[in-house]
């Protein structure tokens, strides 16, 4: 009988051997839709649920959003595509950290003057 008890005890402790468990499961994915005022040059939209989500439409399918990923805030500039009547984020885009965003803002006057010469 002691052998079976050991097996039962070890089987209880082996329950974690099926794979690592994430202490913080990933947040549920939200279906992202283009703001209703997408035709304007900038807009703010509020997503239902976790708080306010700011977004600005650059043109038809390019949107700037503020996102948080693993505790870091990013400025996300992304192209969207339409699937099943919904706007979804595509692969084409970039997410800039706060420091990268600040650096981009710092060099904008140089970029503007370079654009004028072209």
Q: What is the 3-state secondary structure (H, E, C) of 41-66?
A: CCEEEECCCCCEEEEEEEECCEEEEE
Cα→Cα distances 13→9, 23, 80, 105, Å: 6, 18, 47, 54
pLDDT at 118: 86
Cα→Cα distances 117→40, 68, 111, Å: 29, 37, 10
Residue extents of the structural domains in the chain: 32-117
- SS3 assignment, position 32: coil
pTM for the model: 0.54
pLDDT at 54: 86
**Of all helices (H) and strands (E), which one includes residue 80?**
strand 72-83
**Which CATH class, in words, describes the domain spanning 32-117?**
mainly beta
pLDDT < 50 positions in the chain: 8-15, 31-49
């Amino acid at each position: 009988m002691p052998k079976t008890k050991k097996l039962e005890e070890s089987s209880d402790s082996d329950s974690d051997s099926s794979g690592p468990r994430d202490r913080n499961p990933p947040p549920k994915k939200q279906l992202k839709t283009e703001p209703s005022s997408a035709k304007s040059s900038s807009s703010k939209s509020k997503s239902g649920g976790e708080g306010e989500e700011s977004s600005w439409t650059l043109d038809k399918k390019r949107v700037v959003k503020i996102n948080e990923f693993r505790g870091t805030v990013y400025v996300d500039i992304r192209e969207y595509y339409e699937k099943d009547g919904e706007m979804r984020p595509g692969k084409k885009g970039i997410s800039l950290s706060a420091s990268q965003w600040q650096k981009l803002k710092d060099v904008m006057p140089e970029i503007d003057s370079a654009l004028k010469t072209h």
